[in-house]
Structure 1
Amino acid sequence: MFETERLILRAYRDSDLGDMLRLRNNPVTQRLMTHDYILPAGIKYIESVQKWATESLFAVIVTSKPGGDFMGLCHLQVPSRKNRDADLGVAFLPEYWGKGYGTEAISFVVEHGFRWLALHRVSLVVYEGNTRAIKVYKNLGFREEGRKRKANWVDGKWEDIIQMGLLEDEWPSSPGVTHRT
């Protein structure tokens, strides 16, 4: 278990499954988590959560401090260990948006990845319509590296899928980041 100023980041427990389904089945959050159809998640999602918890390099459930309320999740997956490039994933329930919790969790996870997991880079994919997340990522030093144009059909229109990345030697100079020693 890890702690930041306002958060507890801990391992997944089977008792989190209901909260994970609540996060995934919320149409507002689901459209930001996948470019697949917006459908209620069922048994296949349950299997994917269990796989996510065991196969991610670093996966945490984000809870509030001191209450321990489920807020969301954050993880690093490494498709190819040779290149030390991890894919960042993050999702929070809407009631926690706009309060800096995502920034706090992502900052911790990215720093942990560079400092303790020997990552060289952290990559992510974000949808063009998720302007709040794009702003957070840019404030943490992520740079746009590519754009898959009109690749996601959402709310009756096409939007781009944006690829962003951050290198280990860029992290200490990222604006707005408070580093732990």
Structure 2
Amino acid sequence: MFFARTARLQIRAVDTSDGPAWLRIRSEYAVLSSSTFGYVVPPGPSTWEHNKKWLEDALFAGFVEVKEEFAHLRRVLPDEEGNDPEPPKEESEKHIQWERRQRAVGFVLLTVPPKNRDAQLGLLFSTSWHNLGLGTELMRWLVPYAFEQLGMHRLSLEVVESNVAARRVYQKVGFAEEGRKKGAVWQDGGWKDIVLMAILEEEYWAGRNRHTVNATSTI
């Protein structure tokens, strides 16, 4: 059962069987280097158990997959070729699990410290699904959900300055840069800033109202 759907995506609760998908996505160098401020090293066998508690404690944690009719958009990574062959459809359980792995886009979560309703956004997105607009699609669902359904006051995030694509997505849905941690991350042979970005509820509602007015004026 899915919690929510967008045009091409399905979001559901994370469950214990999602460990392999989490580890596979976390093992992608491009994903790990853009989503961690620590050492970029392959995740160990205990990584899922550690992160599972983090996901369980989050206000919202969602497993994101692409709808079946869009599965063909997935880009096969070079190191995946021949590593995950499709099992015969007669082996229904194995085939279902294989399809599930192929359609796994990533994970999204909101963690909220007590009192201030400031949700920290975390996003893990497989490079197999980059450059298709799916990140923007997911965020255009998540931001209204956080403000309209969860009653958040702020959405906040931190992103390395070199992750230009992610910053562009966040800006599209209303996030603005609030400041920087100068030279906070050693990446690719140099020091990079961590960019602090956020959107406030009043900014979200103002943008939503402008969109409504503009849409009405064109009718």
TM-score, structure 1 as length reference: 0.91
Shift of residue 73 of structure 1? Answer: 1.0
Deviation by residue 1:29-52 (Cα, 9 ceiling, x = unmatched): 100110111111124411222112
Deviation by residue 1:23-80 (Cα, 9 ceiling, x = unmatched): 111111100110111111124411222112211101101101125510011111012x
**Does 1:18 pair with 2:20?**
yes
Q: Distance in 1 between matches of 2:176 and 2:5?
A: 27
The aligned counterpart of 2:142 is: 109
The aligned counterpart of 2:75 is: none
Q: Which stretches in structure 2 are left out of the alignment for 5+ residues?
A: 72-99, 213-219
The aligned counterpart of 2:168 is: 135
The aligned counterpart of 2:109 is: 75
Question: Which letter does structure 2 place at the counterpart of 1:75?
Answer: L
The aligned counterpart of 1:60 is: 62
Q: RMSD value over aligned CA atoms? A: 1.9
SS of the residue aligned with 1:165?
strand
SS of the residue aligned with 1:153?
strand
Of the structure 1 ranges 130-139 and 39-48, higher mean CA displacement relative to structure 2 is found in 39-48
Q: Number of residues paired by the alignment?
A: 177
In proportion to residue count, which structure has more strand?
1
Residue among 169, 181, 184 paired with 1:151: 184
Q: Which stretches in structure 1 are left out of the alignment for 5+ residues?
A: none
Conserved 8 A contact 1:139-1:174: no
Percent identity over paired residues: 39
In proportion to residue count, which structure has more helix?
2
Higher radius of gyration, 1 or 2: 2
SS of the residue aligned with 1:123?
strand
SS of the residue aligned with 2:112?
strand
SS of the residue aligned with 1:118?
coil
Q: 1:106 to 1:48 in 2, by over 3 A?
A: farther
Conserved 8 A contact 2:119-2:155: yes
TM-score, structure 2 as length reference: 0.76
SS of the residue aligned with 2:22?
helix
Conserved 8 A contact 1:140-1:174: no
Q: Distance in 1 between matches of 2:110 and 2:140?
A: 12
SS of the residue aligned with 2:108?
strand
Q: Distance in 1 between matches of 2:156 and 2:32?
A: 20
